[in-house]
Amino acid sequence: MRSTRTTFTRRGFLGLAAAAAASPALAACGGGLGSSGSGSGTVKFWDMPWSTPAYNTAAKKITQAYAPSSGNPKASYQTIQWSNFYQTFSSAIASKTGPAISTGGGFQAFQFDEQGQIAHADNVIDALRKNGQYDDFLPGVLDAFKSDKGYVALPWQLDLRVFWYRKSLFDKAGASVPTDWPSLLEAGKALKRIGVIGFCTGSGTGNFMGNHLMIAMMINNGGGVFTPDGQLDLLNDRNVEAIEFVSELVSNGVIDPAAVSYTLDNMDTQWKSSRTGYGLYVTGLPQRVGDTSGDIIAASPLTGPHGDKATLVFPNNIMMYKNTPSQASSEAFLVYYMGQLKHLWQQKLMSALPVFKSITELPEFAGDPNNVKIVKEYQPISKTFASRGTALDANIAVLDGGQAINQFTQTILTGKTDAKSALKTFQSGLQSVIKS
């Protein structure tokens, strides 16, 4: 499916930033959401192509089915392409022709919030408490969006990084599925001996998986780019230990020497053609590469050298803007839309994880054992780029989409320097572009 492919593409705007319920339930709670305003105009909802075109068709139908309470306007739906989307949003917001509500880049809300353009979602949270949806959120998914001023956005899907393996290759290599770092190295060597890639990753054009691997291994070891209060801390011992281990995978040929140039298409081909046995990738990998054999399986999370378990997550979100026919109308529509999300997973249009427990229990979702395992074992230990803290901000966007992390990843994958030197350069690169 294209959903996971666009999951990465959506981050293309970040480098630019571095440089410069059911409907009846809504009717009951929507009326108390802020002041009603004039009710003139239309609540414009801009959405991205998160999956195949069938996704946008379904999301448009949900939007058009919205029946606002008296005095509130209806909602309109528009698909915004990922290509140059940050410029599209920026120009429209500046000219006051932009949306009232949108999905978008993972950290877009925090960047526009800094510009004073985001309407906080606290009233929506209160409404979800009243209709019971607040208690339906998976543990911790709201934490990242709580700022000192309020909730910057609402999460609606989780883009998790998961360890996958191809069972037939492990059987052929006589290897055990890794449970920790030493067994990962040994399994990788065994897979290499039968002529396949022991750990699949990449850092070619448009491919952020190598970057995500570096951060995922840091947080899997109890480290992270930032301190709990958001200060840069790349040179801590846990990070050094993690990158030294990745370098060991490189030096042993477990990570392909050509990985530095692998695109997402290259990685997909390796998984699809049984040329790799293990790696960190997106949820829904079998569906992504069209493998229906059941041979590609979600492995359990790895245990780090000090007993830590963690994986990386990008909580994609829906945000509201201050330019709206009325704030109450935006809030009412958002409450409605959150209540309709289940239909997207019931139609199997999404490969990312939903944010609501009730959706994870639907037969259309829970019928896939990989989904069940990921929700049970990965989601509770997932952490964002903000780890060791929890709250996101615009600095996370600069980290995720800037050149410093790309250069760091490529340096490690090519084995050009030692872990401490690479981390020192990485920290210097970030210090020059983030806000203290």
Residues 83 and 138 in one domain: yes
Query: Could you tell me the sign of the dihedral formed by the alpha carbons of 374, 379, 380, 383, in that order?
Result: positive
The model's pLDDT over 211-268, given as tens digits with 9 standing for 90+, comes to 999 999 999 999 999 999 889 999 999 999 999 999 999 999 999 999 999 999 999 9
pLDDT, residue 436, reads: 66
Tell me if 111 is assigned to some domain.
yes
Q: What is the CATH number of the domain that holds 18?
A: 3.40.190.10
Q: Considering only the C-alpha atoms of the chain, give the largest distance between any 2 of them, rounded to a whole number of Å.
A: 70
User: Rounded to whole angstroms, how far apart are CA atoms 326 and 42?
Assistant: 9
Q: What amino acid occupies position 298?
A: A
Considering the domain architecture, whether residues 170 and 203 belong to the same structural domain is answered as: yes
pLDDT tens digits for range 95-113: 999 999 999 998 899 999 9
Domain co-membership, 397 together with 417: yes
pLDDT of residue 42: 95
Q: How many domains does the chain have?
A: 2
Q: Which domain holds residue 392?
A: 160-313+388-431
Question: Rounded distance, CA 356 to CA 147, Å?
Answer: 22
* 32 lies in the same domain as 142: yes
Tokens standing for residue 199 = 């750990």
Positions of the chain with pLDDT lower than 70, given as ranges: 1-40, 436
Together in a domain, 174 and 263: yes
Q: Which residue carries 């079998």 as its tokens?
A: 286
Describe the crossing of helices 237-251 and 419-431 by its angle, rounded to 10 degrees.
Answer: 120
Domain boundary among 383, 398, 416: 383
Please check whether residues 150 and 170 belong to one and the same domain. Answer: no
- Which residues contact residue 158 at a Cβ distance below 8 angstroms, ignoring those fewer than 6 apart? 138, 141, 283, 313, 314, 315, 316, 352, 353, 354, 355, 379, 382
- Residues 99 and 46 both lie in one domain: yes
Residue from 340, 417, 374, 323 nearest 158 by CA: 374
Residues 48 and 173 in one domain: no
- Interatomic CA distance for residues 425 and 408, integer angstroms: 8
